[in-house]
């Protein structure tokens, strides 16, 4: 009798396992939950929408309670984390996080559901997020799209923000560079937050130097090779290593306000700090840049340990940045 055991092609534990038949087990995904007419904790309303049928891109959009058409509010376009290969805009932890951000910032929030690697390897995720942002921005143009009334009715497009956590912060960074070079249908991105950004590189920096054994076997390396196997330069591709020699100038980041945050125990902490200093030295002409470091916490703590006081404090800090 034949065995039904599938052969493993590659795995990055504890996150993901890929089999030789092309199937994938995502091992740490938060459960998918439906949107809500009125979230019991925050009063925020949410619904799921189609951004594009081809390519297939969807989103979950959030509207704070008591928003009035005459007093339009900021907009946050958000990209979720998960190493480009797991998690979802529709998951429990992301939905709880977005509800809180929308309430505390009093902003409309739209979380883009981009396609995941390895079934859809990078740069597909980057393209999906750019397409999603363009679709959002097109609602600001007279005679443009009016597909989503929450965007066309309640949003002040002079206060457009983008943001993300972990790989979502990486997506946000690359979106900012593209917006700076290509423009965004005449819309300017006012600000961006990059929380615990997933950046890496072949040369160890900071605390990485102490833990440099078998560097290629670290999850930060293995995930990148899994999700972007054709990346020119490997882990020194500028999309992952934004400070690499020969990469695009960080002076080209297309926003005027930037908030970078990290945590003391975060495995990519030194990369966030390096990025902050590199932007400062780049000649970037923004009006505000801030680095926030949270002591005693680990990567994505504000999402994974969402009931803690430090989580609540960081979410409030992010929300207060959206003005």
Active centre residues (catalytic): 166, 266
For residues 190 and 160, is the Cβ–Cβ distance under 8 A?
yes
Residue 106: φ, ψ to 5°: 50, 55
Burial of 25 (0-12, 13-18, 19+ CB in 10 A): middle
Helix 92-105 to helix 309-321 angle, to the nearest 10 degrees?
50
Rounded distance, CA 109 to CA 122, Å?
25
Rounded distance, CA 219 to CA 8, Å?
17
Q: Which residues pair with 289 in a beta bridge?
A: 258
């Amino acid at each position: 009798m034949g065995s039904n055991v599938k052969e493993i092609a590659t795995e990055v534990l504890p996150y993901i396992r890929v089999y030789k038949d092309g199937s994938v087990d995502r091992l740490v995904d938060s459960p998918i939950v439906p949107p809500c007419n009125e979230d019991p904790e925050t009063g925020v309303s949410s619904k799921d929408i189609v951004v594009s049928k081809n390519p297939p891109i969807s989103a979950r959009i959030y509207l704070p309670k008591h928003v009035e058409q005459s007093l339009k509010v900021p907009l946050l376009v958000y990209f979720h984390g998960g190493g480009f290969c797991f998690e979802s805009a529709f998951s429990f932890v992301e939905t709880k996080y977005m509800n809180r951000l929308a309430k505390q910032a009093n902003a409309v929030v739209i979380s883009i559901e981009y396609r995941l690697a390895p079934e859809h390897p990078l740069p597909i995720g980057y393209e999906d997020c750019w397409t999603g942002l363009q679709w959002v921005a097109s609602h600001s143009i007279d005679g443009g799209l009016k597909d989503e009334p929450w965007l066309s009715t309640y949003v002040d497009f002079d206060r457009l923000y983008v943001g993300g956590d972990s790989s979502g912060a990486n997506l946000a960074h690359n979106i900012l560079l593209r917006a700076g070079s290509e423009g965004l249908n005449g819309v300017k991105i006012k600000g961006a937050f990059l929380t615990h950004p997933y950046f890496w590189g072949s040369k160890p920096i900071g605390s990485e130097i102490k833990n440099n054994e078998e560097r290629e076997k670290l999850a930060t390396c293995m995930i990148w090779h899994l999700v972007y196997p054709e990346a020119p330069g490997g882990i020194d591709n500028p999309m992952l290593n934004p400070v690499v020699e020969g990469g695009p100038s960080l002076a080209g980041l297309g926003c005027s306000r930037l908030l970078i945050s990290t945590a003391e125990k975060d495995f990519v902490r030194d990369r966030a700090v390096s990025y902050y200093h590199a932007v400062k030295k780049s000649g970037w002409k923004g009006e505000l840049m801030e680095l926030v470091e949270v002591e005693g916490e680990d990567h994505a703590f504000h999402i994974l340990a969402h009931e803690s006081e430090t989580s609540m404090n960081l979410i409030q800090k992010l929300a207060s940045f959206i003005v």
